[in-house]
Amino acid sequence: MNIPLLAARNVTRNKLRTVLTTLGVAVTVLTFVLIRTVVAAWYVGVEAASKDRIATRHKVSFIMQVPKNYADTIRQVPGVQAATWAQWFGGKEPNHEGEFFATLAVDPKTTLEVYDELVVPEEQKKAWLENRQGILAGDVIAKKFGWKVGDRVNLVGTIYPGDWQFEVSAIYTAARKSIDRSTVYFHWDYLNESLPEQRRDKVGWIVSRIDDPGKSATIQASIDQTFDARDIQTLSQSERDLNNSFLGMMSAVLGALDIVSVVILIIMGLILGNTIAMGVRERTTEYGVMRALGFSPRHIATFVLGEAFTLGIAGGAVGLAIAYPFVNQGVGLAIEENMGAFFPYFRILPDTAIAAMVMALVLALVAAVIPAWQASRLRTIDALRQVG
Partner 1 sequence: MSTAASSAHASAGITVRDVTKVFYRGKEPLTVLDKLNLEVTPGQFVALMGPSGSGKSTLLNLIAGLDRPSQGSVQVGQSSVSNMADSELAKWRSQNVGFIFQTYNLMPVLTALENVELPLLLTKLSGAERKKRAQTALRVVGLEDRSTHYPRQLSGGQEQRVAIARAIVNDPSLIVADEPTGDLDRQSADDILTLLTKLNTDFGKTIVMVTHDPAAAERANVTRRLNKGQLS
Partner 2 sequence: MIPLRYNARSLVRRRTTTIAAALGMALVVFVLAASLMLSSGIKKTLTQSGRPNVAIVLRKGSDAELASGVEKAHVALVSAREEVARDGSGAPLSVGEVVVVITQEKIDGNGISNLSIRGVPENVYAFRPTVKVTEGRPARPGTDEVVVGKRARGRFKGVDLNKAFELKKNLPVQVVGVFEDDGSSYESEVWGDLETVRRGFGREDGVSSVRVQLTSPEKMDAFKTAIEGDKQLQLEVFPETTYFEKMSEGTSAFVNGLGITIAVFFSIGAMIGALITMYASVAQRRKEIGTLRALGFSRSSILFSFLMESLMLAVAGGVLGVLAALGLGFVKFSMMNFASWAEVTFSFNPTPEILVFAVVFGGIMGVIGGFFPAVRAARVPPIAAMRGA
User: Which residue, 68, 142, 79, is CA-closest to 106?
Assistant: 68
The region of 42-50, 193-201, 292-300, 330-338 touching partner 1 under the rule CB under 8 A is: 292-300
| Among the listed residues 7, 11, 34, 378, the single contact to partner 2 using CB under 8 A | 34
* 253 is a contact residue toward partner 2 (CB under 8 A): yes
Which residues lie below 8 Å from residue 266, measured CB to CB, with a gap of 6+? none
Q: Which does 75 bind (CB under 5 to 8 A by kind): partner 2, partner 1, none?
A: none
* 23 is a contact residue toward partner 2 (CB under 8 A): yes
**For residues 53-72, which are near partner 2 according to CB under 8 A?**
59-64
Min. distance of Cβ 293 from partner 1 in angstroms? 5
Angle at 120 between CA 115 and CA 123, to 5 degrees: 135
* 301 is a contact residue toward partner 2 (CB under 8 A): no
**For residues 320-339, which are near partner 2 according to CB under 8 A?**
none
* 314 is a contact residue toward partner 1 (CB under 8 A): no
What's the CA gap between 56 and 206, in Å, rounded? 5
* 39 is a contact residue toward partner 2 (CB under 8 A): no
* 251 is a contact residue toward partner 2 (CB under 8 A): yes
Site size toward partner 2 (CB under 8 A) is 55
| Among the listed residues 54, 55, 114, 271, the single contact to partner 2 using CB under 8 A | 271
Q: Which does 12 bind (CB under 5 to 8 A by kind): partner 1, partner 2, none?
A: partner 1
Pairing of strands 80-88, 202-203: unpaired
Q: Which does 175 bind (CB under 5 to 8 A by kind): partner 1, partner 2, none?
A: none
Min. distance of Cβ 11 from partner 2 in angstroms? 13
Q: Render the burial of 5-26: b for 16+ CB within 10 Å, e for the rest.
A: eebbebbeeeeebbeebbbbbb
Supply the angle between the helices 350-377 and 297-323 in degrees, to the nearest 10.
150
What's the CA gap between 315 and 25, in Å, rounded? 5
Q: Which residues pair with 171 in a beta bridge?
A: 137
What's the CA gap between 358 and 279, in Å, rounded? 23
| Residue count (the chain) | 388
Nearer to partner 1, 212 or 282 (CB): 282
Q: Which does 264 bind (CB under 5 to 8 A by kind): partner 1, partner 2, none?
A: partner 2
User: Which residue, 250, 237, 247, is CA-closest to 62?
Assistant: 237
| Among the listed residues 180, 239, 286, 336, the single contact to partner 1 using CB under 8 A | 286
| Among the listed residues 43, 295, 326, 342, the single contact to partner 1 using CB under 8 A | 295
C-alpha 11: how far from its chain's center? 37
| Among the listed residues 184, 291, 352, 368, the single contact to partner 1 using CB under 8 A | 291
Per the CB < 8 A criterion, the answer to whether 71 and 83 are in contact is yes
Per the CB < 8 A criterion, the answer to whether 316 and 29 are in contact is yes
| Among the listed residues 1, 16, 229, 249, the single contact to partner 1 using CB under 8 A | 1
Q: Which does 31 bind (CB under 5 to 8 A by kind): partner 2, partner 1, none?
A: partner 2
Per the CB < 8 A criterion, the answer to whether 272 and 312 are in contact is yes
Nearer to partner 2, 134 or 371 (CB): 371
Min. distance of Cβ 365 from partner 1 in angstroms? 21
Which residues lie below 8 Å from residue 68, measured CB to CB, with a gap of 6+? 85, 192, 201, 202, 203
| Among the listed residues 161, 162, 294, 350, the single contact to partner 1 using CB under 8 A | 294
Q: Which residues bind partner 2 (CB under 8 A)?
A: 16-17, 20-21, 23-24, 27-28, 30-31, 34-35, 38, 59-64, 90, 92, 156-159, 161-162, 233, 235, 241, 244-246, 248-253, 256-257, 260, 263-264, 266-268, 270-271, 273-275, 277-278, 388
Q: Which residues bind partner 1 (CB under 8 A)?
A: 1-3, 6, 9-10, 12-13, 285-286, 289-297, 299, 380-381, 384, 387-388
